[in-house]
Chain A
Amino acid sequence: MSIWEYANPKKFMQTTGFLLPWVSGLAGLTLAVGLIWGYFFTPDADKFASTVKIIYLHVPAAMMAISAWTMMLVTSLIWLIRRHHVSALAAKAAAPVGLVFTVIGLVTGAIWGQPMWGTWWAWDPRLTAFLILALFYLGYIALWAAVENPDTAADLTSVLAIVGSVFAFLSRYAVLFWNQGLHQGASLSLDKEENVADVYWFPLLVCITGFVLLFVALVLARTRTEIRARRLQALIARERVA
């Protein structure tokens, strides 16, 4: 039993077909619990009043936006090295999900920043880096859409994902150099003394879990769609030949 078994589309479809309803249900459940707990059963923070509660969307979305790109990088590498089609399709499936999480992170940040910082947008390093990440997602998706041959598209986007990762990382640290930030530092680290208070921390953990499950569910569903679309194309091509 190795993970490479799932490179076989048939095996992948079987297993994920069984897993998908459970993952989706669990994602819905954890998100409902986390968000309701977070929104209705936590106190307002003294400095931030009720705006603090946007943390339950903002932080998990931002975390998943970065994780999604990392996942795309790994699956792209697997495609380039081992030529498993499922891997390339998973990368393709994850990109729009990652883009949406990035946009959620930016928009919730803007909504929170308006009352708190007095502005919708500031050229803060973290904000800028996230905007650049969104542009990388856009370019990646556009390249997938522009190239007709699916194998060529998979190869080109994989190379782009690798080079893009390096440059996204560079940009992340370049913007730190370029401007000082308004954004608060990390407050969820496992190894730090001063973290966000437990009242907010536990529902936030639940929400993060919910977002991870949601991401997995969406990517699985989208990958299954891609595999079906690929099968359909093969069928059509076979019809035409016959």
Chain B
Amino acid sequence: MIALLIRDLRLAIRAGGGFGLGLAFFLLVAVIVPLGVGPEPATLAKIAPGILWVGALLSCLLSLDRIFALDFEDGSLDLLATSPVPMEGAVAVKALAHWLVTGLPLVLAAPVLGVLLNLPVQGYLWLVISLALGTPALSIIGAFGAALTVGLKRGGLLMSLLVLPLYMPTLIFGAEVVKRGAAGMAVGTPLALLAAITAGALALLPFAAAAAIRVNLR
């Protein structure tokens, strides 16, 4: 499983340029929004938590089809399915690799973009914490969506339709943490619920995703 993780990380970093693209997209969202809504600092500060979370979610979504599609095309997914590693484990590892190359850079870059969007000072810590807790859920939910659509020729658009509704609870709690943090309120409740969603998704969704992949490889 560790070998698989290292292989996926190498592929992501060396080939195809998937690494960094999500990050660039995240930066673009943070640049485009002020151009659209105007540069007033008060307005930006008000919408910054939501925009940063929506941006993180969208850049995660963009890179999802890379989780399984390439491996499905060149047949390595079949090899994985016949290997001694259970499919559930392979899915979890692939989601982890996706998080390391997409989610983690987002978490680290978010404070910088927070400056662009004039996020209030109290919000930075909670922005990083909420993204660190929430993006793993985005990766594993996305892996499930990618597993459902892996056999399809043009699955990308369909996958967005399937995955975005599944992202909603994560988005609501994640953005709520930053919003409350930025306003200086207590963040315990939404933070706990966000962590609960991540923990539940990490525990259960690998099974659903593995089932979907087995069906698609049949």
Which A residues lie at the B interface, using CB under 8 A?
Answer: 132, 135-136, 138-139, 142-143, 146-147, 152, 155-156, 159-160, 162-164, 167-168, 170-171, 174-175, 177-178
The CA-CA distance from A164 to B165 in the complex, in Å, is 9
B139-168 interface bits toward A, Cβ cutoff 8 Å, 1 = contact, 0 = none: 000001000110110010010011011101
29 A/B residue pairs, CB under 8 Å, sorted by A: A139-B161, A142-B158, A142-B162, A143-B148, A143-B162, A146-B149, A146-B155, A147-B152, A152-B151, A152-B216, A155-B212, A156-B148, A159-B148, A159-B215, A163-B166, A163-B205, A164-B166, A167-B166, A167-B169, A168-B165, A170-B197, A171-B172, A174-B169, A177-B172, A177-B176, A177-B189, A177-B190, A177-B193, A178-B176
Q: Does B208 contact A (CB under 8 A)?
A: yes
18 more CB-based (< 8 A) A-B contacts, given A156-B148, A156-B212, A168-B165: A139-B161, A139-B162, A143-B148, A143-B162, A146-B152, A152-B151, A152-B216, A155-B212, A155-B215, A159-B148, A159-B211, A159-B215, A160-B162, A162-B208, A163-B144, A171-B168, A177-B172, A177-B173
Q: Which of B158, B165, B173, B208 contacts A143 (CB 8 A)?
A: B158
Q: Does B218 contact A (CB under 8 A)?
A: yes
Q: Report yes or no: A147 in contact with B151, Cβ–Cβ below 8 A.
A: yes
Q: Report yes or no: A135 in contact with B211, Cβ–Cβ below 8 A.
A: no
Given contacts A138-B161, A143-B148, contact A159 B169 (CB under 8 A): no
Q: Report yes or no: A174 in contact with B166, Cβ–Cβ below 8 A.
A: no
The CA-CA distance from A57 to B144 in the complex, in Å, is 37
A-B pair number, CB within 8 angstroms: 74
Q: Which of B168, B197, B208, B218 contacts A163 (CB 8 A)?
A: B208
Contact residues in A for B149 (Cβ distance below 8 Å): 143, 146
Q: Which of B165, B169, B176 contacts A135 (CB 8 A)?
A: B165
The CA-CA distance from A174 to B169 in the complex, in Å, is 6
Chain A nearest Cβ from B177, distance in angstroms? 11
